[in-house]
């Protein structure tokens, strides 16, 4: 089990990134959140099994509308009280 903070840049706003991320993460039983940033990037905190997080990233990069140019990822502390993945507005 791990939690990652991931910042995505590229064509990641206005292309359904957050909706897609929430849908995939929920299907993979991941928890966390995703939000747009004012600088055009998207921040995600995602928690779960390593393989499921990897699968989420793999599916996001295969979406034809989303174009991820850069990913900045780091491990952060677990949030044990979290129960689902959500979009922050």
Please list the pLDDT of the chain residue by residue as tens digits (89 residues): 999 999 999 999 999 999 999 999 999 999 999 999 999 999 999 999 999 999 999 999 998 999 999 999 999 999 999 999 999 99
Residue written as token pair 């299907």: 27
Question: How many CB atoms are closer than 10 A to CB 83?
Answer: 7
Domains in the chain (CATH in brackets) are 2-88 (3.30.70.100)
Active site (annotated) includes residue 4: no
The predicted pLDDT at position 21 comes to: 98
- For the whole model, what pTM was predicted? 0.94
Catalytic residue among 3, 4, 18, 52: 18
The predicted pLDDT at position 31 comes to: 98
In DSSP terms, 75 is beta-bridged to 4
Query: Length of the chain, please?
Result: 89
Active site (annotated) includes residue 36: yes
Residue written as token pair 């993945």: 85
Burial group, residue 82, by CB count within 10 angstroms (0-12, 13-18, 19+): middle
Catalytic residue among 36, 37, 70, 74: 36
The predicted pLDDT at position 43 comes to: 98
């Amino acid at each position: 089990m791990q939690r990652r903070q991931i910042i995505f840049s590229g064509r990641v706003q206005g292309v359904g990134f957050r909706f897609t991320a929430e849908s995939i993460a929920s299907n993979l039983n991941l928890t966390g959140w995703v939000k747009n940033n004012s600088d055009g990037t998207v921040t995600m905190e995602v928690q779960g099994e390593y393989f499921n997080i990897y699968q989420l990233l793999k599916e996001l990069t295969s979406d034809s509308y989303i174009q991820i140019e850069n990913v900045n990822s780091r491990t952060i502390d677990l949030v044990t009280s979290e129960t689902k993945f959500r979009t922050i507005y």
